[in-house]
Chains A and B, each alone.
Chain A
């Protein structure tokens, strides 16, 4: 017992007595999300090869404006506001994705699951449980600059609009030049919207708005409130919110890649239209 006295716990960043691979999860999720961000940014700046009739990449939907001269561009008839304006700055590619990606991005960045993962992976507050967090002089959590996270329910409203838009895109993927049919791309687009719906409708804010906000599920007459029924169903999705977040995100990227490869002629789309 003649050793020098020390503190029981170190206050140095990332210090811990954990013997497991605590760094693996934040490293893997941080790297995985970074890959998605790099791919979507690259895809967004391509400004082309986002349409292969009848498939539209979800990263470019809804198509607000179209530059018909771009390779693999959607027909002008698809655009909500016609052709790209001539005053658009030359240094920015005329990419429809630049106009629409903010919606899903804002929803994901303010999502309670994503907050958990990026506060751990990118901000190290903390990097993992019982691993010393990055020291901050005056930690404010989500009371200071991060107060904006409270807009999450408004980004949810935007995300729900996108679900309907992407569902319409998936529906249109059954019709090529007015002829009903089905292709591998159709299946991919349908799966895409289903996965996104499972993620969006399992959101914590949605769960609160649909029933969680109630204090009493049986008031005023003892009968089950509709909100309780909805809350229970959303809870089953919400319990796997992380799973749906990752699977839907990866599938969005894959869907864009598939449409891009088919549009470029690299991959052949097997379908019932015979081309």
Chain B
């Protein structure tokens, strides 16, 4: 048992302030446990979204000492003993109350993306995928939609370009569809013109904060940018594309 000090932002969309709480911390606790103890002992009206406490639901995203993290995966023993722990809601999304933000904008972006479009079934009625093809897109399917990447992306966070760029999470979704061996939908033009791949300046903060360690930039966004180059900026690739025709429907 050791007493620790927390500065938790309390408020709503009209504003608020940091409130200091001192609570006892037990061995093995994570930040989300500490928040629950604050709710139990000091502030029963403190709002915090959470669900699985196992780093798999993506609900308890917050900014802990300035870093976007999952509260349930941030161990208390990762801080110095006398360190004051500052907890804030995500910056990129509107605050509902205390640590809870309105992330519904993300769901709207998801709806804009054309889903997987399979080709007609082969004669035996079975689609076939090999493990080597599954491996690449499997990485993208690990996403738990915590939106830490959306939160840390400066295009959304500081430049406020939500109308231009769908953000790293949905670039990863687009990559998982575009690189799917059975997909027949062509999204490249939209990736450039509507989803805003050019707004990403690949500073890799999305990769740095991803709790699932998805290589968002290297394996998702940069390959999509290269596909956009193939289609729009590389005269040789454009010529080859015209000669050999489109593999996917437009």
List the interface of chain A (C-beta within 8 A of B). 1, 3-9, 11, 16-19, 112, 115-116, 119-120, 125-126, 129-133, 135-136, 139-143, 146-147, 150-154, 204-205, 208-209, 212-213, 215-219, 222, 224, 228, 238-239
Known: A8-B16, A139-B159. 8 other contacts (CB 8 A): A5-B17, A6-B15, A8-B88, A129-B203, A208-B222, A215-B183, A217-B132, A218-B130
Residues of B within 8 A of A6 (CB): 15-17
- Flag if B218 contacts A208 (CB, 8 Å): no
- Flag if A8 contacts B203 (CB, 8 Å): no
List the interface of chain B (C-beta within 8 A of A). 9-11, 14-17, 19, 63, 65-68, 83, 86, 88-89, 91, 95, 128-130, 132-133, 136, 152, 154-155, 157-159, 161, 165, 178-181, 183, 196, 198-205, 208-209, 217-218, 222-223, 225-230, 232-234, 247
Query: Given A204-B226, A205-B226, A213-B226, do A115 and B66 touch, yes or no (CB 8 Å)?
Result: no
**Roughly how many angstroms separate A19 CA and B64 CA in the complex, as a whole number?**
10
Instruction: Please provide the 10 A-B residue pairs with the shortest distance between their CB atoms, ordered closest to farther.
Output: A5-B15, A17-B66, A18-B66, A129-B205, A143-B198, A216-B181, A141-B199, A139-B159, A208-B226, A218-B130
Q: How far is the CB of A203 from chain B (nearest CB, A)?
A: 10
**Roughly how many angstroms separate A4 CA and B16 CA in the complex, as a whole number?**
8
Query: Given A115-B201, A215-B180, A228-B132, do A130 and B66 touch, yes or no (CB 8 Å)?
Result: yes
- Flag if A142 contacts B199 (CB, 8 Å): yes
**Roughly how many angstroms separate A141 CA and B170 CA in the complex, as a whole number?**
17
8 example contacts (A-B, Cβ-Cβ < 8 A) are as follows A1-B10, A11-B158, A116-B217, A129-B67, A130-B91, A141-B196, A143-B196, A153-B234
Q: How far is the CB of A73 from chain B (nearest CB, A)?
A: 38
- Flag if B88 contacts A112 (CB, 8 Å): no
Residues of A within 8 A of B86 (CB): 17
Residues of A within 8 A of B223 (CB): 204, 208, 212
Q: How far is the CB of A142 from chain B (nearest CB, A)?
A: 5
Residues of A within 8 A of B157 (CB): 130, 133
Identity of the chain B residue whose Cβ is nearest the Cβ of A209 in the assembled complex: B226
- Flag if B65 contacts A19 (CB, 8 Å): yes
